[in-house]
Amino acid sequence: MERKTHYDSILDRSKRITWQDDCYVDLQSRSCSSSSQAETEELGWIQLHQDQFQRFTTATFLEEMLTHMRKVDLLTSAEEARIKEAGRLQDRVSVFTAVVAGKDGQVSDALRGFIESSDSQVAQLIVNYDGIVREHKEVLLRRYEQLRDRDSVSCPQLNISNRALLLVDGLSDLQQKEHDLMQVGATRGGRRNHLRQLGLAKLLEPLTRVSLPPRVSLTVGVAGIGKTTWLRHFIKQWSQGLICTDVSFVLPFTFCELNSLEKLSAERLVKLAFPHLTDPSLVLSSSCRTLLILDGLDEFRCPLNFADAASCTDPKKEVSIDDLVTNIIRGNLLPDVAVWVTCRPGVASLIPGGLVDRVTEIPGFSPNDVQTFLRHHFSERGFSSNIWAHLESHKILKVMCYIPCICWIVADTLTYIMQSEPQEGLPKTCTGLYAHFCSMKAELGEPRGREPVKTDQVHGSNRKLLGNLGRLAFYGLLKHKYTFSEQDLRANGIEPLLTQSSLGSGLLVREDSIIFTTYRFTHLTLQEFLAATFYHASSKRAIFDLFSESTMSWPKIGFQNHFKSALQRSQQADDGHLDVFVRFVTGLLCPAALKPLGGLLALGKDDGNQKAWAAGFLQSLLVGAGAVVSLRAVNLAYCLQELQHTELLRGVEEDLRLGSLAGKLSRAHCVVLGYLLHVSPECSERTNLTGSLNYATVKCLLPQLLYCSHLRLENNHFKDDVMELLGSLLSAKDCHIQKISLAENLISNKGAKALSRALLVNRTLTSLNLRNNNIGSKGARFLSEALKMNQVLVSVNFQNNAIEEEGAQALAEVLQCNRKLVSLNMRKNAIGAGGAKRIAEALKTNRTLTKLMYPPNPISLHSRDLLLICAVFIRTNPSVPSLCVCRLCSNQLGDKGTIALAEALTLNHTLLSLQLQSNSISNKGMTALTKALRLNHGLVSLNLRENSIGVEGAKNMAHALHENNSLQELDLTANLLHDEGVQAIAGAIRVNQGLTSLHLQWNFIKSSATKALAHALLSNATMQLLDLQENAIGNEGVIFLAEALKTNTSLHTLCLQGVSSGTSGAIAMAEALMSNQSLQTLDLRGNAVGMEGAKALANALKSNRSLKSLNLQENSLGMDGAIFIATALKGNHQLTYINLQGNGIGESGAKVISDAITTSAPGCVVDI
């Protein structure tokens, strides 16, 4: 009876159809039968839930539906058999729904009634899934839309949708053990080049076709980098159906919320945070793909004990919150739910690496990003350019802007100051910046750009609030506590209501959630600064150790004792979490930094002695910094910078810039050098320590050299023991070195072995220079074995290392398997004919090498050896890009070598440039080479200067140019072509559509050949450069060319130096320039243009608008001719270079003409 009632209600609903979700249109008045109405509606219901049927139906539930439909005689045996024979479950479900949809409305009604009355979880998902998901997305959107303004920390050009996470295979020691700001300083915010990028939309997707989606993903980023912002962006995008559409539910939690909970079950946790999800078991079931987000592991106050935590597999069982989190991450609990955890790098190791399937890192702002950010948010009154100029002058502030949150603080503070103070008054240190920031936040409701407010008007209640916030910050910092409850605030004398004041809301951020309300400082560095202000003020009157909250400690009387205590604790801290705190404590001793806080802190009088004492104390610590420069020692140099005691820092920076550090690297200098590698991009990106180091200084500096990009260690007399040190450097996971030059040292095969071990694991080094060492054949073998495995190095220089034939053979094996190496230098290594043969054979299969340098090696270049070298160019697969440039100049190849090259060129179509200058090639060699050019379609540049190809060779080249349209640059300088040979080439130029550059200097060409070239230019539309220097073409030849220029529109450069042209040739060229608008460079050096020719050219320049360079050197212009040219430039705005040297103008005349040209055409460079 109950079921019949349910069916009746369904039938009653058939009188209406859904219209735009929840609006119904009554169909009672329609003139169609009720049966057709029901059929239409029920077909819509089946189709509407088709996806749910496919997604959630299990084999068991399908069997239940079939059984029920047979029981009520609405499914025949044949139909049931057809369904069961469909194969896969999804296919059976498809057939089943098709069969039901194809019957009348009663069958659909029966199925719908059965599903809606079933208590099965599958049935509930089929019926209610869409509604639950829609409501959940709406709730999340409402919740996170309220946070839109707070999260909009970047401009549209820096939108998270256009950025990507960095996929990492684990965290470095620097990330796991050091303070966030030290990480940013050491790496200068640079990202490792080898890291893959991963779009946020692909966070939960498998990386390859054969891999599985990650269950536990970990995303790390330093404080303020935007971890929560990225999460919120992801949630909004998912809620809007833009990404990860296969994810059914996203359940975001923060560890701050979890801190307030003690004991509960997984289902109760979901119900507590998302009351609208009335049945959490549906959300957490294996049928749904659910993502659980846990944001801010570094803020979790409970220990995560993965070794001893009690196992829990029941989502309904109540356990402690730490055990709950542990079991979820382990997969004991909710094994089908994906988990996404975010945290700062230092706490990532709390989760065992074996439990994490994917680690990603959030990148910060690059320098270009910072500029984009400033232009978008601070463009008013030129603030953005002024802020950037200030950051460029103070690198430590620029490096901090890698973190978007700090970039906001820096830019907002500097803008605020610039509205009322000159740019010279901008803070130069982090301490000064944060002091101004606090002062800015304290000035409640005061418009910017106003007169300074009286201290007693502004700082009345703020002084107490700042002091209490400082106490909260200090003792929170000691406990690694960065989020606070209302109870914490009250315990430190802070009423939550006060956090809504200008100062309170500027320094503290309130986070509200359904579970709990928390407070945190705007950024970690702000908490550290406020902690330093508390310590600074309290240490002047405290008689006990402030690092102990109780009074049961040894007495410490006087500021200096407290200062020493802070430095000592900072130096002893393994994780460096007090590094930035002591920088601020030191910086507050600088009067300029302390001045903005004058009304907010009870400072008392300071005669400056404390600053001088602190500088001396810090320098004494530098001297005793230890055998190795650690980051704790480098932090001492940061403290000196904050104190503005920079004499030592500036001295070392200047020595590094001048390359004069040799003999000066004491312990203190090494520490300062380490500091400079952090804050100065110029020092770290190209660190030149040539001739400055020895074993002891390398060992001392080793940890800081990790973060250099280009390291030059040339001419340091390094032996193999130093290579052991550098090998450990290159093997480190933190290594950022991309290029290293060890040229001009004393490295033998043992040192090469140490380097080879490092190359097996290094993933950053792209260039290795070992020029002029003594690694020998054995060392070459060691390095070759590493290069077979290394897939990062693209350039290696073995020049002058006596690797001999055996070493060349080892490198040949590398070329056969290495797919990354692009440049290999093997010059001066006595590789012999055998080595050349092995290299040549290897290059037959190599597809990546584009630059191979091994001549000159002491090998005899007989014809057999030349054939081996020529085999370099033969490729089994000519379509794959490979060797692009081959230089065989001055190698006495002769005709036999050229013939061998020609044979290779018939097969090779990837070689772009072939340089055969000065190789004694005659007509015989040219016959073979030009025959190959008819078949070759890859060569772009061919240099045949200073050979002896003669007239017949020129004719052969002309035949080739009739067919070859891929060659673009041809140099036939000094080849005895004469008029007959050039006339043949001119005939080819008429029809050739590829050649753009032709050099024909020193070829005994006269006017008849020039006439042929001129006629060719009338029809040729590709030639851009024609060089006829030192050919006696005379006035007649120049007149022919000038006539062609009146029609030709492609020629850009014409070189006519020393062609025996006089005034008539110059006049003809001037007439051409009055109509030609394409020629840009005209070289008439060493002719006899004279005054009349200069006058004609001057008139042409008044109307010509294309010529940019004119060379009239040594043309007997005289003073009058030069004046004609100079005055003509008043109307010409295109000429950028003119040469009037050697024209008998005289020194005084030269000055007059130079001044005239400078006045008429200030953008034109004049040589006179």
The whole-angstrom separation of Cα 646 and Cα 648 is 6
In a shared domain, residues 287 and 348: yes
Q: What are phi and psi of 613, to 5 degrees?
A: -65, -45
Q: What backbone phi and psi angles, to 5 degrees, belong to 1043?
A: -65, -40
pLDDT at 786: 94
CATH number for the domain spanning 144: value is 3.40.50
Contacts (Cβ under 8 Å, ≥6 apart) of 1037:
1005, 1006, 1007, 1010, 1011, 1028, 1031, 1059, 1061, 1065
Domain end residue (candidates: 702, 732, 748): 702
Say which CATH number the domain at 62 has: 1.10.533
Q: Say whether pLDDT at 33 is over 60.
A: no
Model pLDDT, residue 502: 74
pLDDT score of 605:
61
* Greatest extent of the chain over all pairs of C-alpha atoms, in Å: 122
Residue 180 lies in a domain: yes
Q: What is the residue-averaged pLDDT of the chain?
A: 84
Tell me the per-residue pLDDT of 921-971, one tens digit each, with 9 for 90 and over. Answer: 888 889 999 999 998 888 899 999 999 899 999 999 999 999 999 999 999
Which residue range is the domain that position 272 belongs to?
138-205+212-364
Does any domain span residue 39? yes
- pLDDT-based confidence at 1166, cuts 50/70/90? confident
pLDDT of residue 1120: 85
Q: For residue 1162, is it within any domain? A: no
Share of the chain above pLDDT 70, in %: 88
Give the H/E segment covering residue 290. strand 290-295
pLDDT, average across residues 383-408 = 91
- Answer yes or no: are the C-beta atoms of 772 and 743 closer than 8 Å: yes
Same domain as 158, residue 93: no
Q: Binning pLDDT at 50, 70 and 90, where does residue 1153 land?
A: confident
Mean pLDDT of 1144-1168: 75
Burial class (CB in 10 A: 0-12, 13-18, 19+), 214: buried
Within 480-520, residue ranges assigned H as helices are: 486-491, 502-507
pLDDT value at 450 more than 70: no
Is residue 597 located within the same domain as residue 636?
A: no
**Residue 508 dihedral angles phi and psi, to the nearest 5°:** -115, 140
Label residue 914 by pLDDT band (50, 70, 90): confident
Rounded Cα distance, 1117 and 1123, in Å: 9
- The helix-helix angle for 77-84 and 89-102 (nearest 10°) equals 150
Domain assignment present for residue 385? The answer is no
For the chain, how many helices (H) and strands (E)?
51, 32
Under a CB-based contact definition with an 8 Å cutoff, are residues 1088 and 1114 in contact?
Answer: no
Q: Which residues, including other chains, have CB under 8 Å from residue 1010's CB and lie 6 or more apart?
A: 1028, 1031, 1033, 1036, 1037, 1038, 1040, 1041
What are the backbone dihedrals phi and psi of residue 544, each rounded to the nearest 5 degrees, phi first? Answer: -125, 165
Q: How far is CA 477 from CA 406, 526, 540, 636, in A?
A: 19, 11, 20, 20
Over residues 1053-1080, the mean pLDDT reads: 94
R_g of the chain computed on alpha carbons: 40
Looking at the structure of the chain, the number of domains it has is 4
How far is the C-alpha of 521 from the C-alpha of 509, rounded, in Å? 6
Structure confidence at residue 683 (pLDDT): 79
Q: Which conformational region is residue 150 in: left (phi greater than 0), alpha (psi within -120 to 50 degrees), or beta?
A: alpha
- The DSSP bridge partners found for residue 853 are 825
In-domain check, residue 304? yes
For residue 858, say if its preceding peptide bond is cis, omega within 30 degrees of 0.
no
313 lies in the same domain as 439: no
Q: Please name the residues in contact with 351: beta carbons below 8 A apart, sequence gap of 6 or more.
A: 216, 218, 297, 304, 306, 329, 341
Residues 107 and 158 in one domain: no
Beginning with the edge strand found earlier in the chain, give each strand of the sheet holding 508-512 in spatial order. Answer: 483-484, 517-521, 508-512
Residue at 766: amino acid letter: T
Residue 1088 in any domain: the answer is: no
Q: Is the pLDDT of residue 576 over 70?
A: yes
3-state secondary structure of 76: coil
Q: Is 515 left (phi over 0), alpha (psi -120 to 50) or beta?
A: alpha
Six-digit token pair at 196?
């893959």
What is the pLDDT at residue 859? 39
Give the tens place of pLDDT for each residue, 123-176.
888 888 889 999 999 999 998 876 654 444 456 677 787 789 999 888 888 888
Residues 338, 440 within the same domain:
no
Do 968 and 995 contact (CB within 8 A), yes or no?
Answer: yes
pLDDT value, residue 745: 95
Of the two residues 470 and 420, the one the predictor is more confident about is 470
pLDDT surpasses 80 at 983: yes
CA distances from residue 81 to 58, 70, 86, 96 in whole angstroms, order as listed: 18, 12, 9, 11
Q: Is the pLDDT of residue 556 over 80?
A: no
Mean pLDDT of 493-504: 80
* pLDDT greater than 70 at residue 342: yes
347 and 442 share one domain: no
Residue 170 CB partners (closer than 8 Å, separation 6+):
353, 359, 733
- pLDDT, position 583: 95
pLDDT digits (tens, 9 = 90+) for 202-259: 999 998 888 899 999 999 999 999 999 999 999 999 999 999 999 999 999 999 999 9
Residue-wise burial string across 717-737, b where 16 or more C-beta atoms lie within 10 A, e elsewhere? ebbbebbbbbbebbebbbbbb
pLDDT, tens digit (0-9, with 9 covering 90-100), for 661-687: 888 888 888 899 888 888 877 777 788
Residue 1039 forms part of a structural domain:
no
* pTM of the full structure: 0.73
pLDDT value at position 892? 63
Amino acid (one-letter) located at 55 = R
Q: What is the pLDDT of residue 995?
A: 95
pLDDT for residue 189: 63
Burial class (CB in 10 A: 0-12, 13-18, 19+), 1092: middle
Residue 1067 has pLDDT above 90, yes or no: yes
Cβ–Cβ < 8 Å for 509, 520: yes
H or E segment and range at residue 185? helix 180-187
Q: What's residue 419's pLDDT?
A: 86
Residue 244: inside a domain: yes
Query: Looking at the structure, do residues 179 and 325 belong to the same domain, yes or no?
Result: yes
- The verdict on 86 and 219 lying in the same domain is no
The predicted model gives 62-82 an average pLDDT of 89
Of the chain, the percentage scoring pLDDT greater than 90 comes to 47
For the ranges 295-304, 360-369, 858-867, 965-974, the lowest mean pLDDT is seen at 858-867
**Contact between 1026 and 1050 (Cβ < 8 Å):** no
Please tell me the predicted confidence (pLDDT) of residue 110.
Answer: 86
pLDDT band at residue 871 under the 50/70/90 scheme? very low
In the sheet where 739-741 sits, what is the strand order? 687-688, 710-712, 739-741, 767-769, 795-797, 823-825, 851-853
* pLDDT bucket at 646, cuts 50 / 70 / 90: confident
Q: Name residues whose C-beta falls within 8 Å of residue 883's C-beta, 6 or more positions apart in sequence.
A: 843, 846, 849, 850, 851, 852, 872, 873, 910, 911
268 lies in the same domain as 181? yes
Helix axes 1090-1103 and 1063-1075, enclosed angle (nearest 10)? 0
Mean pLDDT in residue range 75-94: 89
What token pair was written down for 241? 């159906």
Same domain, 189 and 270: yes
Q: Report whether pLDDT(3) > 60.
A: no
Using 50, 70 and 90 to split pLDDT, how confident is the model at 719? very high
Rounded Cα–Cα distance for residues 664 and 876 (Å): 57
Q: Based on the domain organization, do 111 and 234 belong to the same domain?
A: no
What is the spatial distance between Cα 485 and Cα 260, in angstroms, rounded to a whole number?
A: 9
